[in-house]
Amino acid sequence: MPQKYNIHTKAAPPRFYPVGKYATIEFRENCAGSCKECVKKKCVYDIFKDNYLHMSQMEEPEYLYTCNSCFRCIQECTKGIFSRVVNPEYREIGDEYWTPDVLNRTWYQAHTGSIPVSGAGYRGPFAGKGFDSMWTDMSEIVRPTRDGIHGREYINTCIELTRRPERLAFNEDGSLAVEVKPILEIPLPILFQQPDFGVCSKNVVISMIKAAETIGTKIFIRAADVYQDLMPFGKSIIPLVKKENFENYPLLLARVEMVEIEYEPGIEKLFDRIKAINENLVISVGLALRADLDYTEICVELSKTDIDTIHVYADANGREFESKSPRFIKDMLRDIHLGLIDASTRQQVNILASGGICMAEHVNKTIICGADGVVIDRPLLVAMECRLCGRCMNDLSCPVELEAIEPFYGSNRIINLMGAWRNQILEMLGAMGIREVRRLRGEVGRSMWFEDLEKESFAPIFGERKVSIDVG
């Protein structure tokens, strides 16, 4: 039996105290001091044990960013000296989409490599915007297994980036009568991308590349930013080029396995010239999901050419570009996927999706909508303690000195995040009874969509909505 793919994690404590959600308020003068066992020592998550180090340095206030809100300490203290308040600084980080809770959970996963646990359970809304209006089917979660998804049971998370033949044909002796390209496969349906936001110093970029190399995935980087020190990582890099400059990087394209060229009308005429530089190159076309483009038709036409992958981009919040009422990426992906099915080309090309992917559950939901895999950028920065405060965009200093991060430490944090995400992907796939992530592609029968449920349940009584819900 082949060795199972696994992401090995190692705790990477934060360099700076994270912006915790809760602050501890203790009326210590009321402490009896005679309890046989203080409630601090009975914390099942060892929050206070870790926080004693914080206390010993006489730093205030004491923000417990890892508190899981079980409130056992508050309920069981015999003198009632504990209370929790929300840290006001916590409310200021992130934005409406990249919420403080998303950042806080990402920091925790990058620190520990573990799946976040909430002692208070799920406290969010039943339905919301974007991916929160979509639920996955967990009906197989009670199915008995031998020893779980992390034991002998195997769930394959590999995806392909190369084009597949339309059909197979065989000679009389049983040999293949069609040419089959070498398969470029990565073991995780997640690729990285150089962010267009925040601090992207040399150390930050190397941290991302080292993490990609370690877990076996790839990272999209602008070709102009691939300097000599990054050339040894060529197998992990996918350079981003344009119609007017791809011929400026022959040495780079000769060393990499895959390249992405930005979409322009008539771009298909350049594919032969790209192949002339490196005949084994896997070609991806990057397509921004703009409101003024018929991106479904563009993807159908591209799928009929000799490309391998179509990489579609939404904005950082998963919304359509240049639109007064932008659609969310899950709806756009669904149209593209079904358009390729109608054209009978879906099985030949791959779809990667960028934008709005900030949690592990978004990976599976994106694949259900029709993508083969996702590409992430901001979660990589957040894993390295970025607070998405925007100070760097205004030429102000970074509060966590991201530009000086040590690459080994930075890559460790990203690897931990990917380890935690992969475990969550496996948990979801196992609960759905699916043994291969490729089987999840376009499997909308494994999901429920708020818009459809509302229409089925309430439209016969109240009529259909005249104004669509803002799900972006």
Same domain, 163 and 306: yes
Closest CA to 261 of 233, 294, 222, 290: 222
Last residue of a domain, one of 74, 106, 124: 124
Q: Are residues 426 and 285 in the same domain?
A: yes
**Which CATH number goes with the domain that contains 223?**
3.20.20.70
21: Cβ contacts below 8 Å, ≥ 6 apart = 63, 65, 67, 86, 87, 90, 100, 101, 104
Structure tokens at 253: 């394209």
Residue 273 forms part of a structural domain: yes
Query: What is the Cα 126 distance to its own chain's centre?
Result: 22
Shared domain check, 168 and 89: no
For residues 159 and 437, the answer to whether their CB atoms sit within 8 Å is yes
Contact criterion met (CB below 8 Å) for 40 and 73:
yes
pLDDT of amino acid 1: 43
241 and 373 inside one domain: yes
CA atoms within a 13 Å half-sphere pointing along the CA-CB vector of 83: 5
* Residues 88 and 235 grouped into a single domain: no
Dist. CA 457–CA 472, nearest whole Å = 23
Give pLDDT tens digits for 400-443: 899 999 999 999 999 999 999 999 999 899 888 888 999 999 99
Asked if residue 61 has pLDDT above 50, the reply is no
Mark whether 346 and 399 lie in a shared domain: yes
SS3 state at 15? coil
Q: Are 39 and 178 found together in one domain?
A: no
Alpha carbon distance 379, 436 (integer Å):
24
- pTM, rounded to two decimals: 0.88
Residue type, 131: F
- Neighbour-count burial of 408, counting CB atoms closer than 10 A to its CB (0-12 exposed, 13-18 middle, 19+ buried): exposed
The DSSP secondary-structure symbol of 113 reads: S
Range of the domain at 173: 159-454
Q: Are residues 114 and 168 in the same domain?
A: no
Give residue 53's pLDDT. Answer: 56
Give residue-wise pLDDT tens across range 369-409. Answer: 999 999 999 999 999 999 998 888 888 888 889 999 999 99
Residues 77 and 182 in one domain: no
DSSP 8-state assignment for residue 313: E
- With a cut of 80, say whether residue 28 has pLDDT above it: no
Work out how many domains the chain is built from and give that number. Answer: 2
Same domain, 86 and 171: no
